Each structure stands twice: as structure tokens, then as C-alpha cells.
Structure 1
Amino acid sequence: MKRLFVLCALCGLSAAASAATWTIAPGSTLDFDTSFEQAPLHGKFEHFSGRITLDPKHPNACSFDVTINPGSAKTGNPTGDTQIRSTPFFDIAHYPQAIYRATQCRWNGKGPIEVLGTLTLRGVSKAVPLHAELHNDGKTATLDAQATVNRLDFGVGQGQWASASIISKTVTIKAHLLLMH
């Protein structure tokens, strides 16, 4: 049975922790929030995976390598789910993956983490910082992260959908990642 990694430094134990590389475990969530015609729109990506490395001894060095399947986006509306996969939005026929990569963090080894990374979506790569928090209760490790992006920076919502009066330009992305060592 796979075990979840216990990060000793965050538990207040005196043992020195070393770099830990985790995989994102089943049960993790990756959600997005925006608005459509001024009403809240919530969605989630059902398929994503990745590896995360954090080292409390060297807290500014980190590694995030996360792959997202935009075709797995669900909004709770079958018509919307079909539309979001189409050419004006994620264009999954040409861009079946989105990737988030980071190699630098601003962190003091505990508390909030600012992850400096790049999101590649629809063939466009842009800097997207994540604000994250690593949690450990002695039995499990989780990472909660949030970022805000302008969807138009990545070409998401073209043509009639480019208007912010229909769909907000701002999209908030929230992740709750269960980490497995």
C-alpha cells in the first residue's frame, strides 16, 4: 500500500527533512471559477497528474510538473461542456494538454509558498504564479494552491466569446492536491 509522506519539518519535529518528491494522488481536485452572463460559473478538470518537489532545506528551489487534460473539463452543463472543448475555447483537437511547470518558489520552509511557474495552454506559455500552502497533519500531506489568469491571454474564448460582457476574462483556478510519496 502506498503511503503518504509525512514532512517532519512541518510537524515540528527536530529531524531534518530533505527534498520530497510527491505525485498527485487520486482524490485531488482542480477547479475553476469565472462568470457567464454575470452568473457564477464553476467547473473542474477531472483528469490531471503531476509531480511536485519541495525541500525545506532549500525552500526557493522547487519543481512542479503538472499535466492537465482540458478535455476533461466539466461545468455541470452538457452544452457548456461540449462548447468548452471546441475551437473557440480549449480547442482540444489541437491542444489536448495544458502544462504547468515551475522551478522556483518563494518560501521559508513553512507557511505560504509563492510558486513561480509557467502555464502552457492552447500553445501559449505565460507566467502564472501560484499561491500555495502545504498542509501536514502527521498522516497526510496536501497542497492547496490558487491562481488567477486572464483567459484571453491564452486565446480561450475567441470570436463572439472574447467579450468580457458574456464571459469574465478572469478565471480563478483552485487546486487541492493529495500528495503521495
Structure 2
Amino acid sequence: MTVAVETGLWQLDHTASTVAVQHKTMWGLVTVKGSFNALSGQGEVKPDGTAQGTITLDAASLDTKHTKRDKHLRSADFFDVDHHPEITFAVQHAEARSDDTAQITGELTVRGISRPQSFTARVTQADAEAVTLEAEFTVDRAEFGMGWNQLGMLRGLTTVVATLRLTRTA
């Protein structure tokens, strides 16, 4: 990605990485926040400096600190974890820019539905052994079959906030 990041295989450090979501509910009055406690991933930096890889989240690991809400989010109304236990982001192309950012293009798959997703990530640390990226982007949950909206309580887009640390494996 940056000049210091070397070609080869990279593994997500799940202990130093986070993926969280935020969504307005109660007619926009309350922001529900949650994070995925189980994630994994790997990637490859190619000789031309571009990268590809995959980030996988255990959909059942979403924790909003509210047991009843978490159970509902795991149900068929939302993530349907019994039939779709994983959320994946397949990075098809990542390319570093001169301003310590990287343009990421890939495919997000939720509930078995895949949609293209592009965003800019900040490179907050990069050397020969590790790279850390921070990104924030929005997702329309309806595009992934999550249309449940009792009394119109849920409005707007879901914000995804990620900090991903990858370490060199080969």
C-alpha cells in the first residue's frame, strides 16, 4: 500500500481490529451502536502495490449491549444468522494514494446478497511488518434484504466504522 508495505501475504490481527455499526432509530432520536466481536481476514499485496483480500465478520457476534435487541438483529428480520452466519467484504482492488489514504473497491455480502462498495481508508500506520487502516462508510440495509421497520422507527443509512490491522505472514 504505502512504500513501506511490502508485497506478500497479510493476516488480519483480530485483537487490534474493530468493525462497528451505527444506525439511527426511534425516529432518528437514538443512535444504536454495536460492534462485531469475531472477525478474520487476509490479503495479498502485489508487486504493483495494489492489494486484494477478504474480511469476514461472524454476524452472530454483533453486540449492541442490549440482549433483546441483539437477538432481534440476529433474526430473519435483520441478519438472519441461522441462514447467513457470515458477512464478508471481498477487497477486489486497494491502491495507496500519496496522501496516506487508500482507495478500496470491493463487494460487501450480507444475508447472501452482494453489492459493490467503494470507500477511502486512512492509512494510520504502515511498515514492513504491519499496516493499519481506518475507514468509515455508509450502507443502505434495505439493499441487503433488511427492510424491517416497525412504525417507521428506522431511518437513514447504517454507518460502518472499521479499524483493521494486518500483519505480514509471508
- TM-score, L = length of structure 2: 0.85
The match for 2:111 is 122
Q: Alpha carbons of 1:53 and 1:130: their partners in 2 closer, same or farther (altered >3 Å)?
A: farther
Q: Does structure 1 residue 9 correspond to structure 2 residue 3?
A: yes
Kindly indicate whether residue 77 of structure 2 is the aligned counterpart of residue 88 of structure 1.
yes
Q: Does residue 69 of structure 1 match 2:58?
A: yes
The whole-number CA distance in structure 1 between the counterparts of 2:66 and 2:52 is 35
Structure with the largest fraction of strand:
2
Deviation of 1:114 after TM superposition, in Å, equals 1.4
1:178 partnered with 2:165 = yes
Q: 1:51 to 1:105 in 2, by over 3 A?
A: same
Report the AA paired with residue 36 of structure 2. Answer: F
* Inter-CA distance 154–162: structure 2 relative to 1 (3 Å threshold): farther
> Conserved in 1, the CA contact under 8 Å of 2:59 and 2:86?
yes
Shift of 1:140: 5.0
Q: Look up the match of 1:150.
A: 140
Q: Secondary structure at the match of 2:3?
A: helix
Distance 1:65 1:153, change over 3 A: same
Contact between 2:97 and 2:103, CA under 8 Å: does it hold in 1? Answer: no
| Counterparts of 1:168 and 1:22, CA distance in 2 | 37
Segments of 5+ residues of structure 1 without an aligned counterpart are: 1-6, 11-16
Q: Which of the residues 127, 131, 134 maps onto 1:141? A: 131
1:79 maps to: 68
Matches of 1:19 and 1:174 in 2, distance apart? 26
Query: SS at the partner of 2:65?
Result: coil
- Equivalents in 2 of 1:88, 1:33: separation in Å? 17
CA distance in 2, matches of 1:129, 1:162: 30
Deviation at 1:167, TM superposition (A): 1.4
Q: 3-state SS of the aligned residue for 1:9?
A: coil
Letter in 2 for 1:53: E
Q: Match of 1:42?
A: 33
Deviates more, 1:82-91 or 1:20-29: 20-29
Q: Summarize deviations over 1:105-164 as a string: whole Å, max 9, x none.
A: 343366211111001111111001132122226685311122211000001243xx277x
Q: Percent identity?
A: 23
RMSD: 2.3
